[in-house]
Chain A
Amino acid sequence: MDAHDVVALVPELMLVLAAIVLLLVDPLLPRDGRRGLSWLGVAPCVTAIVVTWWTRDEVATYFNGAVVNDRFAVYFKILLLAVAIVAMLLSEKHLHLHDRLLSDYYALVLFTTVGMMVMVAAIDLVTFFVGLELMALSSYILAGFFRYDSKSIEASLKYFLTGSFASVFLLLGMALLYGTTGATSYYAIGDAIAAGDAPESVMVLAVVTLLAGFAYKVAAAPFHNWAPDVYQGSPTPAAAFLSVAPKIAVFATIIRFLTHMLSQQNDIWAPLFIVIAIGTMLIGATMAIVQTDLKRMLAYSSIAHVGYLLLALAAEGYADVSFGKAAILYYLAAYAFMNMGAFGVLVHLANRADFDYSLEKVSGIYRRYPWTAGIMTLFMLSLAGIPPTAGFFAKFYLFAAVVNSGLAWLAVIGVLFSLVSAFYYLRVIVYMYMRDPDTELEELNGRSVDLGAGLGLAALAVVALGIFPGPVLDNAQDAVHKMFTGPQPEAVQEADAAPGAAVAP
C-alpha cells in the first residue's frame, strides 16, 4: 500500500470524514439550530461525484487487488452518491417534524453510501463482505431511527434479523468459493473455476447459497416478506433510501459475481433466476393491488421492479446480448429516481397532521396541492412505464434485451405483469384527481427548500432520463464494456489473465 492507493479512495474518505464531522458537531448545536445540517452531508457527496468522474479513466486495482476503479464502479458510485444526495434532501423536514433531527441520521446515510461504494468497487470477497456489512448495519439503524415509534423499531428488528440471516448465507457461499479455489480475489476464483479446479457439486451449493443471500438482500420471492414491513415502518425518507440504494449496490455485486466468477455456471443460475423472477413479479404485482397503505403499495411495487431486473439477469445466462447488462444499469438509475420521488411525495404529504399514508388520504389532493399531485403523477406514470418518462425507456431496453436473448416468452410474461402493475399506479392518480376528499384539506404547513430540491432533482432525473436517455445509456454501455476483467500477468495475483476470459462482448 502506498499513497497512490489512498488517492483511489478519496471519495470514500471524504464521506467518512464528513460523517465524523457530523457526529462531532451534533452535541455542540442548539436544539433548534440544526436546520441546514443536510448540506454538510450533501456537499461532500457532490464533491465525491466530481472526484469520481474526474478519475473515471484511471483504470487499475488498488490495495493489492482489493478494489478496482473501472467504469463499472464509477457508474455505480456516481449513481449511489446521487441517490444519497436526494435521500438526504428529502429527510430534513420529516425528521424535524418528528423531533428527531439529529446529525446521526446524515452520518448513517453517508456510512451506508460508503459501504455500498466499497461493494461496487470490491474485487475481493473479504473487501466485498466488509462493504456489505457496513451498508447493512448502517441501514438497520436508519430503519429504526424513530426509536420512540414502535413501528420503526419493529421495522429495524425485522430488517436486522432477516438481513443478518441473509448475510450468513452470502458468507457461506463465499466460504465455499474460497474453499474450492483457494483464492478470495474475484479474478483468481474465476480463473480457478475456468481451469476446472472446482468440483461441480460444491459449485452448485455455492451458487444456490449465494443466490439465496442475494435474493434476500434485494427482496426477491420467496425471501421478500421483510420488505413491506420494513418500508412501512421505517421513517419515510429512510424508506425512500433503503428501497433503492442497497438494491442498486447488490445488483452491481451480482453482475460482478456472475461476470468475473460464475460465467461458466450459467446452467445453474440462469434457470433459478427465471423461477425467482417470475415469482417475484407475481407476488409484487398481485400483492400491490390489494394494499391500501401507500408505503406498502410502493414496497410491493419495488418487489415487482426487482422481478423485471432479475428477468434481465436470467436472460444474460442464455445469450450475451450486447446491451443486456447496460439495460440493467439504466433500469437501476431510472428506478432509483422514480421510486425515491414517489416516497418523497409521501414525505411531503406527511406534513399534514392527519395523513396516515392510506390511499383514501390522497383523494382530491390536486385541488389543494396541484404541484404535489402533478409531480406524484409523473412518478406514478414513470413507475408504470408510460412514455416519455424514464420508466418507459428503462422497461423498453430491459425487455428488448430479454427478447434478443431468445426468451421472448419471458419478456411477454414481464410485459403482462407490467400491465397489471399499471392498475395500482394509475389508481393513485385516479384518487388524486377524481375523488373528493373526505375532510377539508388543510394547508401543508411550511415549505422546505431541501424537500423541494430533493423532489425537483428526482423529477428532473425522471424527465431527463426519459427524454434524453443517451448520455446515461452511453455511460452504462461503457461501464459494462470497459469492465476491468482481470489483472495483467505482472500484477497482483499469480493468475495470468486469459485475454477476453469472462468478458461480456
Chain B
Amino acid sequence: MTPLQHYLILATVLFFIGGWGVLARRNIILIIMCIELMLNAINIALVAFSNYSPHGAGLGEVFVFFVFALAAAEVAIGLAVAIAQYRLREKLGVDELHDMRG
C-alpha cells in the first residue's frame, strides 16, 4: 500500500503550483483555475487522511463532496463576474483593476 506521505507530497506540490499560479498569473480565468487546483490538492489530502485514519473514516470523503459542490458554485460566480468585467472593458487582466487607489 502506498504510504500516506506520498499522497501528501503530491497534494503539497499541487498546492504550491496552484498558489504560485494565483500570485504570478495576470489573467482572471487562469487565477480561478489555479484556485481550483489548490482546492483539489486539499481534496487529495482529505481523501488520503480519510483512508489512513484509524477512526472517522469516510468523513474526509464527505468533506470532499461538499468542497466539490462549493468549488463549482465559486467558479460559476467567478466566471460571471469575469464576464461582467469583460463586457465593460474588453480585457480580462487583473492589471486592469486599477480604478481605485489611495
The answer to whether B28 has its CB under 8 Å from any CB of chain A is yes
* Chain B 30-43 per-residue mask, 1 if CB under 8 angstroms from chain A, else 0: 01100100110010
Q: B63 contacts A126, CB within 8 Å? A: yes
- With A160-B77, A168-B38 as contacts: A184 and B45 at CB distance below 8 Å: no
Contact of B85 among A153, A290, A296 (CB under 8 A): A153
Which residue of the partner chain A has the closest CB to B46?
A: A175
* Chain A 175-216 per-residue mask, 1 if CB under 8 angstroms from chain B, else 0: 100110111100010000000000000000000000000000
The answer to whether A161 has its CB under 8 Å from any CB of chain B is yes
- With A161-B94, A175-B49 as contacts: A168 and B99 at CB distance below 8 Å: no
* Chain B 48-89 per-residue mask, 1 if CB under 8 angstroms from chain A, else 0: 010001111101101100110010011001101110110011
- With A150-B99, A161-B94 as contacts: A129 and B70 at CB distance below 8 Å: yes
How far does the Cβ of A167 sit from chain B's closest Cβ, in whole Å? 8
The answer to whether B24 has its CB under 8 Å from any CB of chain A is no
Q: A175 contacts B45, CB within 8 Å? A: yes
Q: A154 contacts B100, CB within 8 Å? A: yes
User: Of residues 290 to 341 in A, which have CB atoms within 8 Å of B's CB atoms?
Assistant: 290-293, 296
Which residue of the partner chain A has the closest CB to B97?
A: A154
| Chain B residues touching A, range | 35 or more
Which residue of the partner chain B has the closest CB to A233?
A: B100
| B38 neighbours in A (Cβ, 8 Å) | 168
If over half of A's interface residues share one DSSP class (helix, strand or loop), that class is named, otherwise mixed; here it is: helix
The answer to whether A158 has its CB under 8 Å from any CB of chain B is yes
User: Of residues 1 to 26 in B, which have CB atoms within 8 Å of A's CB atoms?
Assistant: 15, 22
Which of A9-17, A139-147, A259-267, A397-405 lines the interface with chain B? A139-147
| A182 neighbours in B (Cβ, 8 Å) | 49, 53-57, 59
- With A144-B81, A165-B22, A293-B102 as contacts: A153 and B88 at CB distance below 8 Å: yes
Instruction: List chain A positions with a Cβ less than 8 A from chain B.
Output: 125-126, 129-130, 133, 137, 140-141, 144, 147-148, 150-151, 153-158, 160-161, 164-165, 167-168, 171-172, 175, 178-179, 181-184, 188, 228-229, 232-233, 290-293, 296, 494
